[in-house]
Amino acid sequence: MTTSPPTVQALDGASIDGGLYTDVTDFARHTHWLNGPVAAFSTFGIGLFAVLLLAAWWRARRQGSTVMAAVLTTPFAVVIAYVVNSGIKSLFEEPRPCRALPHDFLIEACPPLDDYAFPSNHTTVAFAFAAALLVVDRRLGAVGLLAAIAMGASRVYVGAHYPHDVAVGALVGTAVSLVVVLAARRVAVPLVKRLGDGALRPLLTGRAS
């Protein structure tokens, strides 16, 4: 008699903090005036981080090759954080809360079955940006951190994620981004210096040619 290997069970998010998720979505149900702005930020708020990174690049032109290297590394750090987070999603395959708790209030439409919840990609990307910005510029990083916290909260408010999806997404984004930016910054500095002495000088330094 042969036995089949045990199958990996999908993460049961509702048993972790489904009650807290319901409390947040109930709050959303009773604050209709807030639904539109939060949904808009949850969908398009990532664009704010691109603006902050652009501002960081502009300021880095006069702050030296080390800072500029960190700025230029940031997009790569964000992409790597997203890839790592997507791998975690595929491993745990946590169903979206809209499927486990179908009667809870939703603002954002329920995604397809194979679009898993844990961890939150939006939150991972937001915190990856924020962590990198904190390395580059504390003031811009502080704005980015507040925006990242708002992004994570918005993902629960619109009904897309459980709170633990957001918490772990924040950890993944922060950890991966810091490792990539701090490590690559040292490697990239000599390259930035060489490029800053060539045709790309106006883009990489504030020095006159």
Name the fold adopted by 17-195.
Vanadium-containing Chloroperoxidase; domain 1 (1.20.144)
Structure tokens at 46: 């990532």
d(CA 117, CA 43): 16
Question: Collapsing DSSP states into helix, strand and coil, what is residue 131?
Answer: helix
d(CA 74, CA 180): 8
Cα-only R_g, the chain: 20
Q: Is 77 within 8 Å of 125 (Cβ atoms)?
A: no
Q: What is the pTM of this model?
A: 0.83
Q: Which helix (H) or strand (E) holds 77?
A: helix 65-92
User: In 61-206, which residue ranges form alpha helices assigned H by DSSP?
Assistant: 65-92, 97-100, 121-136, 138-157, 163-196, 201-204
pLDDT, tens digit, 9 for 90 and up, residues 62-73: 766 677 778 888
pLDDT, tens digit, 9 for 90 and up, residues 27-64: 999 999 999 999 999 999 999 999 998 898 887 767 66
Q: How does residue 132 score in pLDDT terms, banded at 50, 70 and 90? A: very high
Report DSSP state, residue 96: P
Whole-number pLDDT of residue 189: 56
d(CA 179, CA 184): 8
pLDDT, tens digit, 9 for 90 and up, residues 187-196: 765 555 555 4
Structure tokens at 97: 């809360």
Measured over the CA atoms of residue 106, residue 112, residue 114 and residue 120, the dihedral's sign is negative
Q: Is 141 within 8 Å of 184 (Cβ atoms)?
A: no
d(CA 161, CA 147): 17
Q: How far apart are the first and last CA of the chain?
A: 79
Chain CA centroid to CA 75, Å: 12
